[in-house]
């Protein structure tokens, strides 16, 4: 398969096909309803020496097509499952997709689900999910991670785990246990993140509602914790709202998506991807925009911003980066091993969700983004748009990209036109 740069101006994308993450144009957030795919620039895609995976083509599956959504040329989009407010996903070793559906309403208005963790399986390999309830009775469930022989999940007050064996689709009775209690704070958010590093270390996060007006010598802020063998330690501080974490499947890298101060457009507040390192880090909220850049409320340099951790990528405020994942080496270039991010879009724009999209960037050997992010999946928005607001992205081992759309109540998958089942 070859993806060529052609006809991009036809879809109004010539001015925004390549963009820095700090200057995404609103024209990149939608595409005409009669344009289900588009070219991106620059693109020179090829499968390489290994070739495409062999088997029956995924394009022949009966999964419902999505009319009017816009995906990069050479790819197609199908509907996988209907799930109320799907927020976080994790891949089980057998390919099942675990997804959370909270009953509690999130700040953007998403919620109203069963308060459960669901399993989306595809035993008959038809591209349409069978839906199973793995765990229920958790109104405030948000993040989920399947690893180490457990299913980890977050609630408002604590991180839990429950045993998992290959192919399980229902939690064993009486086996759920609490492994970490989030520090009590009246300003804390309930939408925590969690994932498990390749070495088995659990990483989880806690955000706050604070603003940059609360800058002080050591203000209360969001944090990220390492949980290992029933002990825990703080590894990142000075965050506002790191509600999604994803760890690389084969190396130690974990990245958190950090949301900035909603009130900061006039003074350049940013949203970021933060690489979680072994040493204790400080991202500088609420006093710092980023490394060596103070907010207007950090008068007299009350807090030193010179040594705070800079993001490995930054986004314009209110693009709202949520879930992220790395392509596992199945897709052709330039997407091969790239990092994909679900931008939830702006709550404050009119119409709502401006910027909502799935974007990607190439990565270095460690998995950190290099260069500009580019649009990959467009067509999100209110008022009859085929897609509404992406919350999470997740790659399966067979090369499909799953996208959770919490506003539309659906999970989709995307694949190259000639991807074949493994």
Model pLDDT for residues 112-168, shown as the tens digit of each residue: 999 999 999 999 999 999 999 999 999 999 999 999 999 999 999 999 999 999 999
Q: So what's the pLDDT on residue 54?
A: 65
Q: Can you tell me the distance from the alpha carbon of 321 to that of 294, in angstroms, rounded to the nearest whole number? A: 22
- The rounded percent of the chain whose pLDDT value lies above 90 is 69
Task: Indicate if the pLDDT at residue 281 is higher than 80.
Answer: yes
- Largest Cα separation within the chain, whole Å, is 65
Q: So what's the pLDDT on residue 186?
A: 73
Q: Can you tell me the distance from the alpha carbon of 248 to that of 144, in angstroms, rounded to the nearest whole number? A: 15
Task: Indicate if the pLDDT at residue 407 is higher than 50.
Answer: yes
153 close to 117: Cβ distance less than 8 angstroms: yes
Interval 238-263 mean pLDDT: 95
Q: Looking at mean pLDDT, say which of 25-34, 92-101, 177-186, 290-299 comes out highest.
A: 92-101
Task: Indicate if the pLDDT at residue 28 is higher than 70.
Answer: no
- Sheet of 270-275: strand order equals 241-247, 254-259, 270-275, 313-316
Interval 359-366 mean pLDDT: 96
Task: Indicate if the pLDDT at residue 391 is higher than 80.
Answer: yes
Reported as a pLDDT band with limits 50, 70 and 90, residue 196 is very high
Q: So what's the pLDDT on residue 409?
A: 96
Determine what percent of the chain falls in helix, strand and coil, rounding each to the nearest 5: 5, 40, 55
The structural domains of the chain, ordered by start, are 8-416 (2.120.10.30)
Whole-angstrom CA distances from 343 to 185, 234, 235, 248, 323 are 28, 27, 25, 19, 8
Query: Between these two residues, 120 and 381, which has the higher pLDDT value?
Result: 120
Tell me the pLDDT of the chain averaged across its residues: 86
Query: Between these two residues, 245 and 302, which has the higher pLDDT value?
Result: 245
Reported as a pLDDT band with limits 50, 70 and 90, residue 46 is very low
119 Cβ partners below 8 Å, 6+ apart?
92, 96, 97, 98, 99, 131, 132, 133, 134, 169
Reported as a pLDDT band with limits 50, 70 and 90, residue 38 is low
Reported as a pLDDT band with limits 50, 70 and 90, residue 97 is very high
Q: So what's the pLDDT on residue 261?
A: 92
Q: Can you tell me the distance from the alpha carbon of 415 to that of 72, in angstroms, rounded to the nearest whole number? A: 10
Interval 253-271 mean pLDDT: 92
Task: Indicate if the pLDDT at residue 247 is higher than 90.
Answer: yes
Task: Indicate if the pLDDT at residue 93 is higher than 90.
Answer: yes
Q: So what's the pLDDT on residue 67?
A: 84
Among 100-104, 274-278, 322-326, the range scoring the smallest mean pLDDT is 274-278
Reported as a pLDDT band with limits 50, 70 and 90, residue 52 is low
Q: What is the pTM of this model?
A: 0.89
Interval 4-22 mean pLDDT: 31
């Amino acid at each position: 398969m070859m993806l060529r740069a052609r006809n991009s101006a036809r879809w109004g994308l010539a001015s925004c096909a390549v963009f820095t993450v700090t200057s995404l144009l609103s024209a990149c957030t939608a595409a005409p309803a009669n344009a289900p795919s588009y070219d991106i620039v620059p693109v020179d895609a090829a499968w390489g020496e290994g070739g495409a995976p062999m088997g029956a083509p995924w394009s022949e599956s009966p999964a419902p097509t999505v009319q009017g959504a816009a995906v990069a040329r050479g790819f197609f989009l199908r509907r996988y499952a209907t799930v109320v407010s799907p927020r976080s996903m994790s891949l089980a070793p057998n390919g099942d997709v675990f997804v959370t559906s909270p009953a509690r309403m999130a700040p953007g208005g998403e919620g109203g689900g069963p308060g459960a963790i669901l399993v989306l399986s595809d035993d008959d390999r038809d591209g349409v999910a069978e839906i199973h309830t793995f765990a229920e009775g958790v109104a405030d469930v948000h993040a989920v991670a399947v690893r180490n022989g457990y299913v980890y999940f977050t609630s408002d007050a604590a991180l839990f785990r429950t045993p998992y064996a290959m192919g399980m689709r229902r939690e064993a009775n009486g086996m759920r246990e609490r492994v970490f209690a989030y520090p009590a704070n009246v300003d804390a958010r309930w939408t925590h993140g969690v994932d498990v590093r390749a070495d088995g270390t659990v990483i989880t996060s806690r955000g706050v509602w604070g603003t940059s007006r609360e800058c002080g010598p050591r203000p209360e802020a969001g944090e990220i914790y390492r949980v290992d063998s029933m002990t825990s330690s703080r590894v990142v501080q000075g965050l506002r709202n790191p509600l999604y974490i994803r760890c690389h499947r084969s190396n130690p890298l974990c990245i958190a998506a950090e949301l900035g101060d909603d009130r900061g457009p006039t003074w350049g507040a940013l949203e970021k991807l933060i690489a979680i390192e072994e040493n204790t880090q400080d991202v500088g909220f609420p006093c710092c925009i980023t490394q060596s850049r103070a907010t207007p409320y950090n008068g007299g340099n009350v807090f030193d911003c010179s040594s705070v951790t800079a993001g490995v990528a930054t986004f314009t405020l209110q693009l709202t980066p949520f879930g992220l994942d790395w392509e596992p080496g199945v897709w052709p270039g330039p997407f091969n091993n790239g990092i994909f991010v679900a931008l939830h879009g702006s709550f404050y724009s009119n119409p709502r969700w401006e910027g909502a999209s799935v974007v990607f960037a190439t990565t270095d050997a460690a998995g950190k983004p290099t260069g500009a992010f580019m649009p990959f999946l467009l067509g999100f928005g209110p008022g009859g748009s085929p897609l509404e607001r992406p919350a999470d992205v997740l790659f399966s081992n067979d090369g499909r990209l799953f996208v959770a759309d919490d506003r539309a109540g659906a999970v989709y998958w995307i694949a190259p036109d000639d991807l074949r089942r493994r």
